[in-house]
Structure 1
Amino acid sequence: MASSVSADTPAPWRALAAVPLLVTLPEDRLRALWRDSLPRRHHAGEVLRGIGDPAEHLLVLLRGRVCATAGTAAGRVVRFGEWAGPCALDKVAVIDGRGHTATLTSITACSVRSLPRARFEELVDDVPSVRRHVLRLLADQARRQQERFADAAMLPVEARLASWLLARAAASSRARVELPQTQQELADLLGTTRVTVNRALSALRRDGLVEVTRRAVAILAPELLALRAHAPSRREAQR
């Protein structure tokens, strides 16, 4: 009976195969990475790494959600984004060796594998397919970051909010989007204020595009919401 249970239990190293950065690796490499990495567990609200901390390990988030933030000279917190496992965190910092680019904080309880930087560099150097894959991922990340900066500079908040809701819904394949724990966190993500986010949510709800509860937003009219994501709000268009 014991051997049957063991046979039906997935090997723990297979969790790495779901990480986009490592998806091209053969099984023997995944097993080796699992042996060479250290397990870490973090409670909600715990800082995994601070901005500027030496990036001596690649943090592979297996389960949970993590956000990246930084403070401005004026004392404002800028929230760059949030990530759900499985994924690799702050790959740029590990590659360039210049320290973490943001403070990484767990939003929920997280399970992480910590892989020494030298081991990751060896992997990228030795496996051409991994090197190409890493470059594609970094290029995609840079492109999305550039688009986000453009949106923050040019699009009205209502359009930014609609775009964020659609992107989160697409990522989870659900019409219900979980909100950050506070409206201030959502405001930081969109590069605006809490009051402005509240007004934008109210406008989308009033127009019948979404239904808002305390912790989530249900998308009722995705096609109309997509139109709102690419156009200024009616009030701003009339100014």
Structure 2
Amino acid sequence: MTILEVLHTAPSCGTCPIRHRAVCARCETDELAALDAIKFYRSFEAGQTLIWAGDRMDFVASVVSGVATLTQVMEDGRTQTVGLLFPSDFVGRPGRERAPYNVIATTDLLMCCFRKKPFEELMGRTPHIGQRLLEMTLDELDAAREWMLLLGRKTAREKIASLLAIVGRRDAALHLRKPQGQMVFDLPLTREAMADYLGLTLETVSRQISALKRDGVIELEGKRHVTVPDYNRLLEEAGDDADGGFFG
């Protein structure tokens, strides 16, 4: 996709699909205008690396559409996926010079980017941006703690169900719906990526997805299009209740 095509397809602030959840969610009209002056859009194809760990970052960004993974390479060459970035999630940290993780597009991705230095200056005089970023950081901390529980204590079946619940909840939030009843969404990860993220083998992931399908917890069209007939039942399979969960 060319720069002109990106600009043509990029949403305006008023019609942006992540406006209600992104770092600019609390901004007034004049604050949005200030952000608009320092923003630019970038698109990435599935599989493309946005940022390498250790790279100097001259921008921060919000995911507009698509999903990305945060990965870390260990000394022996093994790669561990340590996080997922969904639409409205924020990439980069004001005040931090270098990226701590690789950021890789799992699907085709559109990012709303802000030049880092002007963004940091804008934060200092725009409390709404700093407040929203703090909220998002605390949500991310809560999610990380929940993920520690998932990886450390849950069974393989519960891990798969938990990941499906996460994706379903985030999809519902993006479309201003409550996660309840029947839910339909596309799974952004391949089974190989799910195995890497959950610390399971590919065979275990495939076996558990087949078991959830056989038991009527989910329905699949192809490998990615998921229907959850009853979201509360999925939460039960995940070991969660209807009021708790991940990545709210």
TM-score range, shorter chain: 0.7 to 0.9
Q: State whether structure 2 residue 81 is matched by structure 1 residue 73.
A: no
Offset from partner CA, 1:17-63 (integer Å, 9 cap, x none): 44521111112221222222233222222211111211221123323
What is the match of residue 143 of structure 2? 144
Cα–Cα, structure 1 residues 73 and 180, in superposed 2: closer, same or farther, change >3 Å? Answer: farther
Q: 1:1-80 residue pairs with structure 2 within 5 A?
A: 12-14=12-14, 15=16, 17-18=19-20, 20-80=22-82
Q: State whether structure 2 residue 235 is matched by structure 1 residue 218.
A: no
Whole-angstrom distance in 1 between the partners of 2:185 and 2:48: 24
Q: 1:144-163 residue pairs with structure 2 within 5 A?
A: 144-163=143-162
Count matched residues.
219
1:17 and 1:25 in contact (8 A); partners too: no
Whole-angstrom distance in 2 between the partners of 1:188 and 1:11: 33
Which deviates more, 55-64 or 192-201? Answer: 55-64
Offset from partner CA, 1:193-232 (integer Å, 9 cap, x none): 211111211221222212233223322343332222118x
Whole-angstrom distance in 2 between the partners of 1:208 and 1:135: 40
SS at match of 2:23: helix
Match of 1:206, as an amino acid? R
Q: 1:99-138 residue pairs with structure 2 within 5 A?
A: 99-138=98-137
Whole-angstrom distance in 2 between the partners of 1:40 and 1:185: 24
SS at match of 1:97: coil
What is the match of residue 88 of structure 1? 90
The CA deviation at 1:158 is: 0.8
Cα–Cα, structure 1 residues 108 and 206, in superposed 2: closer, same or farther, change >3 Å? Answer: closer
Cα–Cα, structure 1 residues 190 and 140, in superposed 2: closer, same or farther, change >3 Å? Answer: same
What is the match of residue 238 of structure 2? 229
Match of 2:223, as an amino acid? R
Match of 1:200, as an amino acid? Q
Whole-angstrom distance in 2 between the partners of 1:69 and 1:95: 20
Q: Which of 210, 213, 217 is equivalent to 1:209?
A: 217
Cα–Cα, structure 1 residues 32 and 176, in superposed 2: closer, same or farther, change >3 Å? Answer: same
Whole-angstrom distance in 2 between the partners of 1:181 and 1:160: 14
SS at match of 1:22: coil
Q: Tell me, which stretches of 5 or more residues in structure 2 are unaligned?
A: 1-9, 173-181, 241-248
What is the match of residue 7 of structure 2? none
Offset from partner CA, 1:115-141 (integer Å, 9 cap, x none): 122222112221233322222211111
The CA deviation at 1:77 is: 2.2
Cα–Cα, structure 1 residues 29 and 219, in superposed 2: closer, same or farther, change >3 Å? Answer: same
1:208 and 1:221 in contact (8 A); partners too: no
Which deviates more, 212-221 or 19-28? Answer: 212-221
Max Rg structure: 1
SS at match of 1:208: coil
1:58 and 1:115 in contact (8 A); partners too: yes
TM-score normalised by length of structure 1: 0.80
1:179 and 1:186 in contact (8 A); partners too: no
1:39 and 1:112 in contact (8 A); partners too: yes
Match of 2:238, as an amino acid? A
Whole-angstrom distance in 2 between the partners of 1:135 and 1:199: 39
Where is the helix percentage greater, Structure 1 or Structure 2? 1
Whole-angstrom distance in 1 between the partners of 2:229 and 2:19: 35
1:178 and 1:217 in contact (8 A); partners too: yes
The CA deviation at 1:177 is: 3.5
**Identity across the alignment (%):** 22
Q: Tell me, which stretches of 5 or more residues in structure 1 are unaligned?
A: 1-9, 232-239
